Chains A and B, each alone.
Chain A
Amino acid sequence: MIFLQLFIVFSKIGIFNFGGGYAMLSLIHNETVVKHAWLTNAEFTDIVAISQSTPGPIGINSATYVGYTAVVNEGYPVWAGIIGAVLASLSVIWLPFILMIMISRYLLRHKDSVLVSSIFSGLRPAIIGLIAAAALLLMNSENFSSWSESPFSFIVSVLLFLFAFFGTRLYKVHPILMILLCGVAGLAIY
C-alpha cells in the first residue's frame, strides 16, 4: 500500500530534518530513490530543480512533487497522484507541528523565568552568526556565476545583490517586490 508507506516515510523525514531544506533533500533522496526506488535519479534531479525555482519552502515543494511522482510511477491514475502529493506534504508537517506547539506553550508560559531568558540571551547573538553563515555559504558560483567563467554575469549579479540589499535595508522596498524586480532585471539584461 503506497499511501501508507508514503505517510510513514515522510513523517520520518519531517521529524529527523534538522538542517533546513537542503539537508532534507538528501534525506528524501535516500528514502525514495535509494531505499524504496519510487523514482529514478534523473527524476529526482528534475524535482530538486523545480522545487528550487518555485515559490515556497523547498522541503514542502519537493515532498509534494515526490509524492505525486511516486504514486503515478506505481501505476495509479492522476487523481491518486494528487492525493499522494497532498498526503506526502502533510505528513512532513504534522509531527514537527505538534512538537512546535508543545515548545511554544512551554516557552510562552515560562518566558519571564530566569532559565528561559538567560538561554535566549546567549542564543540571540549566535543566531545572527548563523544567518550570516547561511548567506555566506550561498555566495557561490551557482548563484553569482564566476569571474573566470563570465565576468559580465558576475558583475551583474554583484550589482543586483547590492541593489537588493540596500533597497530592502535603506529604502524599505518590500522583499517580495524586490525579488520580482530583480527577476525582471534578469530578463532584461541577459
Chain B
Amino acid sequence: MWDTPAWLFVPFASPPSDYARRTQQPPTACQCPHFGGTRFLLQPYNFLTKVLQSLYFSPTRSQHQPNNVLDFFLTCNKIGAFTLGGGFAMVPVMEREFVEKKQWMSHDEFTAILIVAQTTPGIFAIDMASHIGYKLYGVRGGIVGALGIAIPSIVVILLIALFFHNFKDNPYVERFFRGVRPAVVALIAAPCFSMARSARINRYNWWIPVAACLLIAAFGVSPIWIILAAGLVGYIYGRYFASRRH
C-alpha cells in the first residue's frame, strides 16, 4: 500500500511520463505539484491541496508537462471532430495543438512521430495519435489517443447512416465543400516549411526533399520506397562517415 504510486489515488492525474522524465524540468515549489515519496499521505491537508492543484490549476504547471489524460482525450476528440479532408489534413492541426499551443513535444519529435506513422501500416492519423499518447502517458495514453480520434468519426458516420442518408446531395453542402477543398490542400502543404526548419535544410541537403517530391509526384514511386531508401542512406552515412568526427 505504501509503495503504491501516488497518481493512482488521483482521478485523471497522470503518472510521470517518459516525456516528463526525460525533459528534466526541475519543478518549482508552487508550479508543479510533485508526488514524491509517501509522506504526503500523513499530511491530509497537503495531500488534498496537491490533488486540487493538479486537477484545477493545471495551466500553472510546468510548461512542457501534459496535464491529464482527459485533456489529451478531449484534444484528440476536437481534432477528430473538426478536421475535414482526411488524415493528412490532421498534421497541421496536431502540430498546432500539441507542439505550438500545449508544447507537449518539440518540432523534432513531432517530425519523428510523423515519419514512424507514415512507415507503419494502418490509418495515418490514428497511428500518430497513438504514438503521441504512448509517448506522453504510456499504453493507456496510446489507447486514449487512438479512440479519441476515432470516436467522433464513428459517431458522425453513424448519425449520417441512420438519419441523413442524402446529405451530400444538398446544394449548400456542395457549395461549402467547393470552398473547403482548396483550403485543405493548402493546409497539407503548410507543414513543409515548419519541418524544413526542424530538419535543418541547408545548401547541402536541399536536393533530398526536392528529389523525393519529384520521384513521388512525377514518376509515381511509392512513398514506402523513398522512406526505406532515405533511412538506409542516413544509416550508412551516420555509421561510416559522420561517426569518425566524434
With A127-B195, A153-B178 given, is the CB distance from A96 to B212 under 8 Å? no
Within 8 A of A (CB), among B72-97: 78, 80-93, 96
Q: Which of B27-35, B63-71, B150-158 contacts A (4 or more CB under 8 A)?
A: B150-158
Top 4 nearest A-B pairs by Cβ distance?
Answer: A122-B234, A186-B179, A118-B238, A96-B122
* Cβ contact within 8 Å between B209 and A119: no
A-B contact count (CB 8 A): 373
Task: Let me know if B14 is at the binding interface, CB within 8 A.
Answer: no
How many angstroms from the CA of A131 to the CA of B198 in the assembled complex?
Answer: 15
* Cβ contact within 8 Å between B227 and A179: no
- Among B112, B121, B189, point to the contact of A18 (Cβ < 8 A): B121
Among B146, B158, B179, B222, which residue has the most Cβ atoms of chain A within 10 A? B179
Q: Mark A58-102, 1 if CB is under 8 A from B, else 0.
A: 111100110011000000001001100110011011011101110
Task: Let me know if A32 is at the binding interface, CB within 8 A.
Answer: no
Residues of chain B with a CB closer than 8 A to A49's CB: 168
With A56-B149, A96-B127 given, is the CB distance from A125 to B201 under 8 Å? yes
| A residues adjacent to B (C-beta < 8 A) | 14-21, 24, 46, 49-61, 64-65, 68-69, 78, 81-82, 85-86, 89-90, 92-93, 95-97, 99-101, 103-105, 107-108, 111, 114-115, 117-139, 142-145, 153, 157-158, 160-165, 168-169, 174-176, 178-187, 189-190
With A100-B130, A176-B82, A179-B180 given, is the CB distance from A17 to B121 under 8 Å? yes
- Among A128, A137, A179, A186, point to the contact of B175 (Cβ < 8 A): A186
* Cβ contact within 8 Å between A21 and B157: no
- Among B89, B135, B162, B212, point to the contact of A129 (Cβ < 8 A): B212
Within the complex, the shortest CB–CB distance from A138 to chain B, in Å, comes to: 5
How many angstroms from the CA of A69 to the CA of B158 in the assembled complex?
Answer: 10
- Among A16, A20, A133, A135, point to the contact of B87 (Cβ < 8 A): A20
* Cβ contact within 8 Å between A130 and B93: no
With A18-B224, A131-B191 given, is the CB distance from A55 to B238 under 8 Å? no
Residue of chain A at shortest CB distance from B171: A190
How many angstroms from the CA of A19 to the CA of B238 in the assembled complex?
Answer: 28
* Cβ contact within 8 Å between B235 and A176: no
With A96-B126, A104-B134, A176-B82 given, is the CB distance from A128 to B192 under 8 Å? yes
Task: Let me know if B116 is at the binding interface, CB within 8 A.
Answer: yes
With A119-B234, A119-B235, A123-B230 given, is the CB distance from A97 to B142 under 8 Å? yes
Residues of chain B with a CB closer than 8 A to A162's CB: 186
Within 8 A of A (CB), among B96-124: 96, 111-112, 114-118, 120-124
Residues of chain B with a CB closer than 8 A to A65's CB: 157, 160-161
How many angstroms from the CA of A134 to the CA of B209 in the assembled complex?
Answer: 12
